Amino acid sequence: MNNDTNTRATVRVETVAGAGHATAHVSGRLDAAGVAAIEGAMARTAEAAPGGRLVIDLAGVPYLASVGLRLLMLVARTLEKRGGRLVVANPTDEVAVVLAVAGLEKPLRVCSGEAAVAKAFA
C-alpha cells in the first residue's frame, strides 16, 4: 500500500515575531479523513492569526480533494470577515494543478517562497 494513502494530515502553527502573520504548515493528504483531522485546528488558527493574516504552507500536501478546497475557502472567508487575508504558499505540483483547475489561484493568493508571501500581504 502506498504511504501517501495512509498519511494522516497534521498542522503545525508557527508565529514569527515581527512577521505580522502566522504560518500553518500542513502535511498529509487533504481528503475527507485529512480535513476531518485538522479542520478544528485550522478554525482555531484562523481565529487567532495576528491581524487576521495567515499563510497556509502546503509543501507537505501530496493530494488535495474538493473537501480540502472547501476548507481553504472557509479559512479565507473567516479571515476576510476579520479584515484579514489568507495566502496559500508552496503547493506541490499536483496540488497547484488542482488549485488552478478550480480557479482558486488568485482568490487564495497562491504563491511560492518567502518573498512572494511578503508581497502577497503588501
Strand partners, 23: 14, 55
Residue with cell 496559500: 88
- Does residue 4 have a pLDDT over 70? no
Residue 1 domain-assigned (yes or no): no
Residue 3 domain-assigned (yes or no): no
Residue 71 domain-assigned (yes or no): yes
**17-61 tens-digit pLDDT:** 777 899 999 999 999 999 999 999 999 999 999 889 999 999 999
Task: Assign 57 to helix, strand or coil.
Answer: strand
How confident is the model at residue 84, as a pLDDT? 93
**75-107 tens-digit pLDDT:** 999 999 989 999 999 999 999 999 999 999 999
Domain count across the chain: 1
Residue 2 domain-assigned (yes or no): no
Residue 21 domain-assigned (yes or no): yes
Nearest 10 degrees: CA dihedral of 32, 6, 100, 81? 50
Q: Which residues of 27-65 are buried (b: 16+ CB within 10 A; e: fewer)?
A: bbbbbeebbebbbebbeebbeebeebbbbbbbebbbbbb
How confident is the model at residue 19, as a pLDDT? 76
pLDDT tier for residue 8 given thresholds of 50, 70 and 90 = confident
How confident is the model at residue 15, as a pLDDT? 87
Domain region containing 13: 8-121
Residue 36 domain-assigned (yes or no): yes
What pTM, to 2 d.p., does this model score? 0.91
Residue 70 domain-assigned (yes or no): yes
Neighbour order of strands in the sheet with 10-15: 10-15, 22-27, 53-60, 85-89
Residue 29's domain is classified under what CATH number?
3.30.750.24
